[in-house]
Amino acid sequence: MSVILFTAPPLPHYIVSGKTPMPIGSKHPNRQNIGIFDLLIVTKGCLYVGEDEHDYEVAQGYALLLRPDKHHYAYSGCLEETTHYWLHFNILGEWTAIGEETYRSERDTAFEEETQRPVRLSAFSTTSYTVALPQFVKLAQPQKLTEVIDQLIMMDQSTHLSGIRLKQQALFQEVILLLSASLRAGTPSPQSVCAERAASYLRENYKESFSAKRLGESINFHPVYIARCMQRMFGCPPAVYQLQVRIEQAKLLLLQTNLTVERIAEEVGFNQPAYFTSSFTKIEGLSPRKYRQRFTWTRE
C-alpha cells in the first residue's frame, strides 16, 4: 500500500463529491490521468478497482485514494448491491507517493531526530508540515467521514451563495484529518466499534421511531453502553443522533424537491409536522421554509 505525502501550506483543494448506488454488475469508470485525486469510500458492498498493476477490493468501511497520474479501471463488476461516496480534490503544491513500510521507517527516524534538535523560530515565521494520506485503508471512523461528506454534498447545491465555497474548503480539511488519522490508527477500540455500529443502524433506520431496546438487540450491545459510546464518539446520545440524521435528510429534500414541509416531515419519520418544524428550527437556527428560501435563492 502506498502513502501520499504532501507539504502544507498550501492545503488540498476540494472540488466536488457525491454518493452513488451501484447495482450488481456495474463497474467503476475506466479512466487515465484524470488530473485530480479521486477518493472512494464504500458504505455497502464492495468495489473492485485497479490502479496500474495494483488491484483493490474496497469493501464496506474502506477507502481508496486514486492518484491523478495513473490508469484506473474496474477489474470486476459489483457482486452485490454497492454504495460508495466519491470525492474529487487537488493538491496544489508538490506531493509524492512512497511505500507504507518506507513511510513508517522514515517517520520514526524523523521523529527521533526532531526530538533531539533545538527549535528556533521567529515570532512571525510560517512553519510547513508534512501530511500523510493512506492510499488504501480501513477507516478508523467511517461514519464520521461520510457525515462530513454528506455536508459537502449538501453545500454543492448552494455554491452560488456567498461564503459557501469557503465553508466547503474549511469543512474539507476535516476529511483530510479523518483520512490521515486512519493511517495512524491501530485496531479500533471496542467503544468506537460500538458507536460506529449504532450510528450505521440509526442512519439506515432513521424513519423508525427510536427504541433503545431495539437498537441494543440489533447490534448486540447494552443500551446504556451504546449511549455512553455514542456520547464519547459523536457528542450526543443515540436518540439525538437519529434526530440529527432526520434533519440532514430533510435538508436534502428541502433543497432537491418541491415537496411540502408537511410531506417532508412525514418522509423523514416525523408524525407531527409541528414537532418537525420546532426540531429543525432548534438545530438549524431557522425554520424549514426559511431554510429552503435561503438556500434556493438565485440571482436575477
Which tens digit of pLDDT belongs to each residue from 210-230? 999 999 999 999 999 999 999
In this structure, the answer to whether residues 217 and 89 fall within a common structural domain is: no
What global pTM score does this model have?
0.70
Q: In this structure, is residue 125 part of a structural domain?
A: yes
Write the pLDDT tens digit of every residue in 244-263.
Answer: 999 999 998 998 899 999 99
In this structure, the answer to whether residues 194 and 130 fall within a common structural domain is: no
CATH number at residue 207: 1.10.10.60
In this structure, the answer to whether residues 127 and 206 fall within a common structural domain is: no
What CA–CA distance (Å, rounded) separates 184 from 107? 11
Order of strands across the sheet that contains 71-74:
31-32, 71-74, 46-51, 54-59
Per-residue confidence (pLDDT) for residue 110, from 0 to 100: 46
Q: In this structure, is residue 45 part of a structural domain?
A: yes
CATH number at residue 95: 2.60.120.10
Per-residue confidence (pLDDT) for residue 189, from 0 to 100: 75
The number of domains in the chain is 2
291 lies in which domain range?
187-295
C-alpha cell at 128: 510547513
Q: In this structure, is residue 227 part of a structural domain?
A: yes
Q: In this structure, is residue 108 part of a structural domain?
A: yes
Give every residue of the chain whose pLDDT is below 50, as ranges: 110-123, 298-300
Can you point out the beta strands (E) in 45-108? 46-51, 54-59, 62-66, 71-74, 82-90, 95-99
Domain boundary among 138, 171, 200: 138
What CA–CA distance (Å, rounded) separates 164 from 152? 10
Alpha carbon distances (Å) from 247 to 170, 180, 186: 22, 29, 33
